[in-house]
Structure 1
């Protein structure tokens, strides 16, 4: 006998329907919750995006960003002021030096020999001057003695001549008186001749004394002429003095040249590079090495001309160094350029054809920045944000 399934009852059908509805509701509820979550997340992302966009626009409005910037310093090229062979390079790149430290030295043997030769010339000139001064003093003493004797002789001759003139006047009066008496016959011829003889003798004596005066004066003239020899010696001494001054000047130049053969640091710093080795020959002006003071650095930035009008002196700036990611340094605008960088190009770009393409120019701006543990080194690339809000 075949068994047939019993027909479902109404209660069983209602229960199954309720279970079916419940299952559908449970399946639909997660779908509604996920959609709401997605909408909420989308709203949050949109709000965050607008907030980020607003912050970015506000930052762009209140700051000028420059990526064409680098650390700069006064990197000094040390050159040779003398010619010669390099005997020593006392430093290498990276060495720290203090003011006065030896950086390099050149051979100095020939310069020292030349200095000794100049010293010998100075000594020889000084000795010749001493000899001439001694000769001049001796000549002056001799001339002074002879002048004194000649003047005494002149005084004696003049006194003798005065006496002879007085005697001649007396004898002449007697002779004239005797002549008058002889003409009237009051004296004998013998008495007249005796008076005439005395007159002639006195006349000759007066002439001899006058000649003695002239001779004494001539002797004084000769002595004075010889005294001019001391002036010649004085001129010789002056000429030697000029030579000695020239030798002294050459000696000073030689000392300077010797000083230039020891190249020393002018300030505290660090060596950046050396360009010669010991044994090489260098000429005046040859570059030996470069160094800089690591405490004195700044940022050279090239700002677009469209942003230049926003900048002001002492405006604060934030510097990000490529070498130190995530670290920033504080600075401020220290100097604004007066001409664009294109004005200093080695190869200017004229436009004779008339085909012109306008290009935004850049102007140099210096940013003062404080060194921090000497981390900032010349040539490092940086990015600068300059605050342009009043």
Structure 2
């Protein structure tokens, strides 16, 4: 056990050597100064980071309108059947790229083609009948023209003969009168008187015969003119056949349209978005078959808050990000602004019969173009828009 007398002598040695066992401590004032500067540096660094991160947000707050209720839109075309029948071919699948003219679907043509063939045969028979009537009309016209010419010639000849007969009759009558006077004076013989009487009778009969021939020639011409009425009858028949042909032609056109509608082709280059039927299904007019869209013709439909709507203008430039392509920014501009809030366009109205009312910020639709730059954007993709309103 250590005694107190043994410990005490050690104390003077420590004083002699000038050493101490307690370390020197920093002065309190210098330590507080370092802590203060450290805190100031941390606060300054934090403020710098906040300013660096917050300044763009503050600038964007006053120079841009941010819209996140936006989607890619396109002219999505739904192709429906225009005829009834069974689907015999559906060569496209969802996601397929189709060129204009590509067959999208085919519908049974088993009965349509024979019906068209029957109408075409009926049309050919009508054309043959029309041709026959027109040929008959042509032949009759030529025959009547020849008969009319002959009748006119007969009339002319008969009239000439009649004129000659009248001249002979007048001459004979003059001779007869002269011989009668001579016979009354006993200058002419009875034989001469008998001869002129006979000659006068003959001349009279000849004139009557010539007159009758003239009338007969005129009657022949009347018969020819009466036969000419057959042309009018033929014209009526031709008009009737032509009217029937117009109806048959219309029927043929309808059958051709029906047959053409049984093969459904793509009207533009596009991408198939959906198919609604399978091969073998029976469809009726109006049944949806295929839905597709043109990938190069896309835009953005967005809904902007009414409180920010007045800041937008048609033509305002916009920066666009697409959720499906992170890290990429597309350019566009506002190309249309809606005239009514989306709540007014809803299928189900939201009346307030109870009297309780909660004011909700309404949204109005706008349309924004987008430069896809070769990127295949699909309808319905979510996007975010930053519209520049600084100008």
TM over 0.5: yes
**Kept after mapping to 1: 8 A contact 2:14/2:20:** no
What is aligned with 2:94?
93
Q: 1:222 Cα deviation (Å)?
A: 0.3
Paired with 1:14 and 1:370, the residues of 2 have a C-alpha distance of: 92
What is aligned with 1:62?
63
Which region of structure 1 is more displaced relative to structure 2, 280-289 or 58-67?
280-289
SS at match of 1:313: coil
What is aligned with 2:22?
20
**Kept after mapping to 2: 8 A contact 1:295/1:374:** no
What is aligned with 2:216?
215
Distance 1:144 1:373, change over 3 A: closer
Deviations 1:344-363 (A, max 9, x none): 22233456777665433222
What is aligned with 2:231?
230
SS at match of 1:332: strand
What is aligned with 2:122?
121
What is aligned with 1:298?
299
What is aligned with 1:268?
269
Deviations 1:88-129 (A, max 9, x none): 001010111111111111111211111111111111112112
Q: 1:245 Cα deviation (Å)?
A: 3.1
What is aligned with 2:165?
164
Paired with 2:265 and 2:18, the residues of 1 have a C-alpha distance of: 105
Alignment of 1:252-263 (within 5 A): 252-263=253-264
What is aligned with 1:130?
131
Paired with 2:183 and 2:351, the residues of 1 have a C-alpha distance of: 131
Aligned residues: 388
Alignment of 1:1-390 (within 5 A): 4=5, 5-6=7-8, 9=11, 12=14, 19-20=21-22, 22=24, 24-25=25-26, 36-349=37-350, 357-390=358-391
Deviations 1:39-83 (A, max 9, x none): 532442244335534432222111101111011111111122222
**Kept after mapping to 2: 8 A contact 1:321/1:327:** yes
Deviations 1:191-230 (A, max 9, x none): 4344333222222221121111011001011012112212
RMSD (Å), alpha carbons: 3.0
**Kept after mapping to 2: 8 A contact 1:157/1:212:** yes
**Kept after mapping to 1: 8 A contact 2:341/2:362:** yes
Which region of structure 1 is more displaced relative to structure 2, 55-64 or 251-260?
251-260
Q: 1:7 Cα deviation (Å)?
A: 6.3
Paired with 2:125 and 2:328, the residues of 1 have a C-alpha distance of: 71
Q: 1:29 Cα deviation (Å)?
A: 8.0
Paired with 2:320 and 2:309, the residues of 1 have a C-alpha distance of: 18
SS at match of 1:74: strand
Q: 1:151 Cα deviation (Å)?
A: 2.7
Paired with 1:50 and 1:210, the residues of 2 have a C-alpha distance of: 133
Paired with 2:362 and 2:165, the residues of 1 have a C-alpha distance of: 114
Paired with 1:83 and 1:167, the residues of 2 have a C-alpha distance of: 91
**Kept after mapping to 2: 8 A contact 1:294/1:374:** no
Deviations 1:239-262 (A, max 9, x none): 323322332333233222222211
SS at match of 1:20: coil
Could you tell me the TM-score, scaled by structure 1's length? 0.88
Distance 1:283 1:16, change over 3 A: farther
**Kept after mapping to 2: 8 A contact 1:68/1:383:** yes
Unpaired runs of 5+ in structure 2?
Answer: none
SS at match of 1:149: helix
Deviations 1:271-300 (A, max 9, x none): 000011111122222211111112222211
Paired with 2:353 and 2:175, the residues of 1 have a C-alpha distance of: 125
**Kept after mapping to 2: 8 A contact 1:62/1:389:** yes
Unpaired runs of 5+ in structure 1?
Answer: none
**Kept after mapping to 2: 8 A contact 1:318/1:385:** yes
Distance 1:228 1:42, change over 3 A: same
Distance 1:183 1:270, change over 3 A: same
**Kept after mapping to 2: 8 A contact 1:99/1:264:** yes
Deviations 1:348-386 (A, max 9, x none): 345677766543322222222122554421101111111
Paired with 1:14 and 1:259, the residues of 2 have a C-alpha distance of: 124
Paired with 2:378 and 2:105, the residues of 1 have a C-alpha distance of: 24
